[in-house]
Amino acid sequence: PVAGCTSVIGYIPGAPPPALAVRSSPGSRQIQLWHFILELLQKEEFRHVIAWQQGEYGEFVIKDPDEVARLWGRRKCKPQMNYDKLSRALRYYYNKRILHKTKGKRFTYKFDFSHLLLLLWDPRSLCRPPGMPSQRL
DNA sequence: GACGGAATTT
DNA sequence: AAATTCCGTC
């Protein structure tokens, strides 16, 4: 809960682990891919398309890459979206330490929640002078 | 499939 | 800045 932050992450009590809820603040800019991924992961209706992997915390499997790409393309109004392009966007998250690949496991990635939470709850934002923008994801 | 450079788009 | 598009390489 950082003032001026675009994203809000919260723990869902009682939900099966790993449980994280993300929503975008109203009037915020365009949805980001990792928001969208977490959004799908949250909803039971997409369990057959994308789902958390039991065992490794934050690890998820894209069970239907074509469908995830189609849903992402629909959200962004990019009808030409496919898994090749979507996965390139996911690969850009490696350097940002938002995601990394689970090597050897097909269509399997893992959220770096420890780093993500540090980015979102940046302590610097708590002692930020007025007018100075917070770090945005 | 997975990776990452490069040019381009929004 | 965060993808999107395209593509050569392994």
What string of pLDDT tens digits covers the 137 residues of chain A? 333 344 444 444 444 433 344 444 444 568 999 999 999 998 999 999 999 998 888 999 999 999 999 999 999 999 999 999 999 999 999 999 999 999 999 999 999 988 887 766 655 444 444 455 555 55
pLDDT given for residue A116 in this prediction: 80
Tell me how far apart the terminal alpha carbons of chain A are, to the nearest angstrom.
13
Which SS3 state, helix, strand or coil, does residue A70 take?
A: helix
Q: In the structure, how far is the CA atom of residue A9 from the C1' atom of nucleotide B10, in angstroms?
A: 26
pLDDT given for residue A113 in this prediction: 87
Which SS3 state, helix, strand or coil, does residue A94 take?
A: helix
Using alpha carbons, select from A109, A113, A132 the residue that is nearest to residue A7. Answer: A113
Note the strand B nucleotides within 7 A of protein beta carbons. Answer: 1-6
pLDDT given for residue A2 in this prediction: 38
pLDDT given for residue A30 in this prediction: 86
The 8-class DSSP code of residue A101 comes to E
pLDDT given for residue A21 in this prediction: 46
Nucleotide nearest to A106 (CA to C1'): B1
pLDDT given for residue A56 in this prediction: 87
Nucleotide nearest to A29 (CA to C1'): C2
Give me the residues paired with residue A61 across strands: A51, A108
**Is the distance from CB of A108 to CB of A114 less than 8 angstroms?**
no
pLDDT given for residue A125 in this prediction: 46
